[in-house]
Amino acid sequence: MSRWLWLSFIFLFIPQVVWASEKEEWIVQVRHTSDVRHLQPYVVDTIGTFVKVAVTEEERENISRLPFVLNMEKNDIKRAAVDDPLFSEQWSLAVIDWHIPSLTSMNRLIGKQMIVDGREYVYDGESFEGEHIVIALGEETLSRLSVTVDHIEGSWRIQVKDETGAMLGENEGELARLDVLLSRPSSTVHLYVMAPNWTNRPRIVELKGVNHVIVAIVSIRALYNMKI
């Protein structure tokens, strides 16, 4: 059995801590181990510069703004999708010494016909500005969209709807990249990029579409048990 399959099997049977309904577990990556002390009221477990915290939504937003916080990700049980173009950006993989294999990634949106704020456009991977992007997928199936913008001025949001206006998924945050899971396939998707309180409009530097719902990594406690 491969190392990853073995790890995945173990992770499935390691329970997460159950908190009051208003709190959720998040994995935070900080710059230095000394930064962990600033998160002490929320800390559940730590491994080096990776910290598992239990926080409310308000506390999560405050932590995400701290200057020493590099990444913040919900503590879900996950697996790596090796033919996912976002694979190499799964920052938690380093914690379990996962070595990224040599592979050719495919962004399923490259070459797709789009209408960006009323203008026809074929996506070639270059940056562009747009608030309403209509993507013709045809029979292509996407499970997740990722939008990366050129700068951050605060909270921003992405929404994805089908051709009838029904919501397929949405996400909001203050990081340069937001991912959204799509609840079902659609031959045409409408992507809305919203930053109403920003002084300068965001420019989309990268738009990715993949067909893998589950990415990244696992529980801090599971990682700790595996490491010892």
- Torsion angle defined by CA atoms of residues 208, 151, 173 and 136, in that order, rounded to the nearest 10 degrees: -30
Give tens-digit pLDDT for 5-43. 443 443 444 344 444 457 888 888 888 888 888 998 898
On the question of pLDDT at 52 being above 50, the answer is yes
- In this structure, CATH architecture of domain 113-210: Sandwich (2.60)
75: nearest Cα among 225, 222, 227, 226: 222
Banded model confidence at residue 222, pLDDT cuts 50, 70, 90 = very low
Fold exhibited by the domain 3-103+215-227: Alpha-Beta Plaits (3.30.70)
Residue entry with tokens 């491994």 = 47
Parallel, antiparallel, or unpaired: how do β-strands 69-74 and 24-30 relate?
antiparallel
* Beta strand residue intervals within 34-176, DSSP E: 43-47, 50-55, 69-74, 113-116, 119-122, 132-136, 144-149, 156-161, 167-173
- Tell me, yes or no, if the pTM score tops 0.85: no
Give tens-digit pLDDT for 171-219. 998 888 898 888 889 999 999 999 999 999 999 999 999 886 444 444 4
The residues pairing with 24 across neighbouring beta strands, listed in sequence order, are: 55
Asked if 178 and 147 count as a contact pair (C-beta separation under 8 A), the reply is: yes
